[in-house]
Structure 1
Amino acid sequence: MTKYKLSAIALALMTSVPALAAGQADSKGFVEDSSLDLFLRNAYMNRDYKHGADDKVEWGQGAVLTFNSGFTQGVVGFGVDAFGQYAVRLDSGRGRAGAGGIDFFMIDNNGDVEKDVAHAGAAIKARFSNTVLSYGDQQPALPVLSHDNSRLLPEAYTGTMITSNEIDGLTVHAGRFHAQHRKSDEGRDSGGLKSIEVLGGSYQFSDNFRAALYASDVEDRLKRQYANLNYVLPMDQNDTLTLDFSGYRTKQDKDWDGSGDRNNLWSLSANYATGPHDFTVAYQRSSGDTGYNYGFYQNQGAVGDGGTTIWVANSFWSDFNAEDERSWQFGYGHDFTQYGIPGLSYNFAYIYGTDINDGTGRGSGSEREIFNQLKYVVQSGAAKDMSIRLRSSFLRVSNNASAYNDDGNEVRIFVDFPMNIL
């Protein structure tokens, strides 16, 4: 797991939508603490499959307008969060689009790719001390319920969430959501979710050590627990060694899979950062009766816990989460600031997985992926904070694992431009 990915997970574990201010006692008011942001994304994805699956190509322009109010003053403060999002299709690769592939846009009942997609939502919120209760459309970022923002538009969920920071260093989440809005569809309840309950939290024991524990119950699908331990060891000359353990335990419902299968998925990674370089080695293990299922699982239908709910080290294009799979990673990251190009970074990873059981009885299979990403963030001027991200993955799968995954080459070009309006 590269350093940038470790940092993103650490931040998400300590926060959740809606964003928390210092506390109700510090509230300046509904309007005074409000913000209005516009996020533009131009995204292109191309998946060139080598066997079995059809190639997928999609290109679109998306826009997300987000309003986060402050809280009214008083013992209990009230506020509103709202968003509106719209995306237009620029190209669908001559029909090579739709769910099951890239999933920027849905395919309608006539078999045509939708020309655009729009969705809006809002949530009301109340804060007492350092605890926020929110109800409505939200985008949770938790290890057992993580909305997918890896495509053109993000997912959203409708329900209730409590986020509490009453104890210094401790963040607690508890929530229940009863509808899922898929990223490529306009329907408020387009994800097939009956309900999901989540409970857990993270605690910062010291500046260097953090732990997290979460659980979820997806109605008529599965029950899942997650644990994380993260330790940062400072070294000489500002070098750091970061050790991270993440693990899931899942029990699927018999009414869903017919047998109540179980899965254990965990990873252990070490990242050494020195100057502009960081190096990562990681090991990941999947065991049990089945692979790790999450998000939208094609063979058994929607899980409903979000398209990025797999916070382990070896999750790239492939998640290396097949039944019985063992995988190893070597990663490298480079920051070009000291060479006079601040904002430019490069990340590479090689991941190799073995012992795959794809359910066909043909023996253990294997897969390997080469991941590359070049990213530049504009540092100043009218386009400040705009980022350009070029990503490619080369995935190769052995014949006796073809029922689990497919060979392919993937290219992603994302241009993101966040703007603060208010």
Structure 2
Amino acid sequence: MTNTASKFSVLLCAGVSAGVAQAESGFFEDASATLQLRNYYFSRDFSDIVGPNKQSKAEEWAQGFILNFKSGYTPGPVGFGLDAVGTLGIKLDSSPDRVNTGLLPVKEDGRAADDYSRLGVAGKMRLSRTELKVGELQPNLPVLVFSDIRLLPPSYQGASITSSEIAGLTLQGGHLNSTSLRNEAGDDKLQAMLGHLPQRQATSDAFNYAGADYAFNDNRTTLSAWYGQLEDIYGQRYFGLKHSEPVGAWVLGANIGYFDSREDGKHLIGDIDNQAFYSLLSARRGGHTVYVGYQAMFGDSAFPRVFANISPLGNEVPTYEFAFADERSWQVRYDYDFAALGMPGLTTTLRYISGDNVDTGQGFEGKDWERDLDIGYVVQGGALKGLGVRVRNVTARSNYRTDIDENRLILSYTIALF
């Protein structure tokens, strides 16, 4: 058996054994496990290199395996359970002059690792409608969005609590002390990004968060208030509104948010002053959905976030963020679901975003734009039922950062183990 196959066997057996052991005890009848296979090709051409990195292209191909095990709870007023996630990434194609796609770790010799793997476990406890988790976590919050946009998902280590004791109101809080990045197997200290720039000069010992989401109006309206703190680096407040409204044959939607971010504690990366507003309005009828978005940055700094995460900003996409200091940006987007034409499983997205007014600090106004085309299909029947195929093509241009031409091809398939 090869080293890679051996590693995957360990991950698979660990997850399945955990489920079997708990099932035999009679306490975990609701346990489930899935295995997702993800084949990912990523190519990013830097047609106009700007900055210290002179690499002209990042291109790699890799195979990923994501094993998720979730137990039920032991009976009684207080229930106990166990969640586990195992990941394995295998290099299919790479070279030293094409690394840093975010798919694979890069070794000290500048080459991508042949494989990397991780197994993380979280214990959980439930009392009434309140749940406490300790261990390996994958939170998805306005102040820490779950950025599963490469081969393997990132994770965090710490504790979280979620409570839904009041109808419509969800309260959450947590303390995270390390992270496993999307292309690494080990634990790392937490770092920050400003706009698209990693702030590698400092690390933080913890990310703390607390927030509330209140859904009402038959769950058509949600109000949110959150706070996130990357200790000694930045503190961030968030207020959000989401609403959908049926109007005849149409469904109108609004997603509006505001962030206020400041330096925290020891100011490890200096002063931070950013206020970010975004709005994304939508109109859907049949298979058609049209979006219009506006986003604006205020203050002296770019938008801060935990490295290397995305954010819920309305105009942020996986290539450009449109979140640099003082930037203003507009978006138009069109989605179509071909189920309306009798072709279920086929969807498309076409999006254009334009930004300007960027404070580059170099004596000129920064401008950028991006055009995205996404086509996705999920096989609806037969032997390949559930197989997903997604193609992404991007053109992004800027006068203050690197131009990008990008292509992605992602194949995914999920197997229910039990």
Could you say if the C-alpha distance between residues 59 and 164 of structure 1 is closer, same or farther in structure 2, counting changes exceeding 3 Å? same
The answer to which structure has the higher strand fraction is: 2
Does 1:35 find its partner at 2:47? no
**Preserved CA contact (<8 Å) 1:155 1:182:** yes
Matched position secondary structure for 2:97: coil
- Candidates 318, 321, 325, aligned match of 1:319: 321
Q: What is the identity, as a one-letter code, of the residue corresponding to 1:247?
A: Y
8 Å CA contact 1:56, 1:93 repeated in 2: no
Q: Any idea what SS the aligned residue of 1:37 has?
A: strand
Decide whether the 8 Å contact of 2:62 with 2:89 is kept in 1: yes
CA deviations 1:43-93 (Å, max 9, x no partner) are: 111110112242111110000111100000000000000111101011125
**Pairing 1:49–2:46 present:** yes
Instruction: Please state how far the C-alpha of 1:236 moved relative to its aligned partner.
Output: 0.8
Q: Is the CA contact (8 Å cut-off) linking 1:394 and 1:409 kept in structure 2?
A: yes
Instruction: Report the equivalent of 2:251.
Output: 240
1:154 equivalent to 2:165? Answer: no
Paired with 1:182 and 1:190, the residues of 2 have a C-alpha distance of 10
Superposition pairs of residues 181-192 of structure 1, within 5 angstroms: 181-189=180-188, 191=190
Residue 329 of structure 1 aligns to a residue whose secondary structure is strand
Cα distance in 1, alignment partners of residues 260 and 48 from structure 2: 32
The answer (yes or no) to whether the contact 1:29–1:73 under 8 Å persists in 2 is no
Match of 2:297 in 1: 286
- 1:318 is aligned with what amino acid? Y
Cα offset, 1:175, TM superposition: 0.5
SS in 2 for 1:95: helix
- Alignment map for 1:145-294 (pairs within 5 Å): 145-189=144-188, 191=190, 193-207=204-218, 208-237=220-249, 239-253=250-264, 255-258=267-270, 260-294=271-305
Q: 1:344 to 1:106 in 2, by over 3 A?
A: same
CA contact 2:95–2:112 (8 Å) conserved in 1: no
Are the structure 2 counterparts of residues 30 and 274 from structure 1 closer, same or farther at C-alpha, using a change threshold of 3 Å? same
Task: Please show how residues 357-376 of structure 1 align to structure 2 within 5 Å.
Answer: 357-361=359-363, 363-376=364-377
CA contact (8 A) 2:177 2:189 kept: no
Alignment: residue pair count: 374
TM-align CA RMSD: 1.6
Question: Structure 1 residues 383, 185: CA separation in 2 closer, same or farther (over 3 Å shift)?
Answer: same
| Percent of residue pairs identical | 33
Is the CA contact 1:95–1:113 (under 8 Å) kept in the aligned structure 2?
A: no
Mapped partners of 1:135, 1:31: distance in 2: 18
Q: Which amino acid aligns with 2:231?
A: E
Cα distance in 2 for partners of 1:131, 1:385 equals 33
Would you say the 8 A contact 1:250–1:263 is kept in 2? yes
Q: Aligned runs of 1:127-146 on 2, under 5 Å?
A: 127-146=126-145
| Alignment gaps of 5+ in structure 1 | 1-27, 297-305
The yes-or-no answer on 1:379 pairing with 2:376 is: no
TM-score, structure 2 as length reference: 0.86
8 Å CA contact retained: 2:204, 2:233 = no
Off by >3 Å, runs of 4+ in structure 1: 190-193
Mapped partners of 2:116, 2:369: distance in 1: 35
Deviation at 1:219, TM superposition (A): 1.2
> What is the CA deviation profile of residues 142-193 of structure 1, one whole-angstrom value per residue up to 9, with x for unaligned ones?
1112232101011111100001111111111111011111111121236555
Deviates more, 1:189-198 or 1:168-177: 189-198
CA contact (8 A) 1:29 1:70 kept: no
Residues 255 and 338 of structure 1: CA distance in aligned 2, closer, same or farther (over 3 Å): closer
> Which secondary structure state, in structure 1, belongs to the residue aligned with residue 161 of structure 2?
strand
**1:25-104 aligned within 5 A:** 30-52=27-49, 53-54=54-55, 55-93=57-95, 95-98=97-100, 102-104=101-103
Q: Note if contact 2:59-2:94 (Cα within 8 Å) is conserved in structure 1.
A: yes
- Residue type of the partner of 1:51? D
CA deviation vs aligned residue, 1:340-371 (integer Å, no higher than 9, x gap): 2110011011111010111212x212101111
User: CA distance change for structure 1 residues 193 and 184 in 2, over 3 Å: closer, same or farther?
Assistant: farther
Q: Which runs of 5+ in 2 are unaligned?
A: 1-24, 191-202
Tell me how far 1:255 sits from its aligned partner.
2.9
The structural deviation recorded for 1:383 is 2.7
2:107 maps to 108
CA distance in 1, matches of 2:260, 2:281: 22
State the secondary structure of the residue aligned to 2:305: coil
- Structure 1 residue 213, shift from structure 2 partner: 1.0
C-alpha contact 2:96 2:110 (8 A) present in aligned 1 = no
Query: Is 2:353 aligned against 1:388?
Result: no
The residue aligned with 1:351 is 353
Cα drift, residue 274 of structure 1:
0.6
Give the secondary structure class of the aligned counterpart of 2:183: coil
Report the CA distance shift for 1:149/1:247 in structure 2 as closer, same or farther (over 3 A): same
| Kept after mapping to 2: 8 A contact 1:29/1:71 | no
